[in-house]
Amino acid sequence: METRTALIGIVVENPDSVDQLNAILHDYKKYILGRMGLPHPAKPISIISIALEAPADTISALSGKLGALPGISTKTIYAKV
């Protein structure tokens, strides 16, 4: 199965969605290479980056599930190789 390397950027504006977000990420843990989360120092938001190695449809499904949560925005970028 062919895989892609990708980065999902996540902006969390609704802290009530964090438990659901973490549960979804846990479901995809075998594809996650690394995760970094930063609280914004001046605004009530958090920024999370997720590095992945997974089939393209799996990456799209994960990004879609996360982006469907209230107060969660995502953007996915793919490596060219």
For residue 25, give the nearest of 12, 44, 39, 43 by alpha carbon: 12
HSE of 65, CA atoms in CB hemisphere, 13 A: 16
Side chain identity at 56, as an amino acid letter? A
User: What's the pTM?
Assistant: 0.94
For residue 47, the tally of other CB atoms under 10 A from its CB is 14
User: Thinking of the domain 4-78, which architecture would CATH place it in?
Assistant: 2-Layer Sandwich (3.30)
Angle among Cα 38, 44, 45 to the nearest 5 degrees reads: 45
pLDDT digits (tens, 9 = 90+) for 17-62: 999 999 999 999 999 999 999 999 999 999 999 999 999 999 999 9
Question: Domain boundaries in the chain?
Answer: 4-78
pLDDT recorded at residue 1? 85
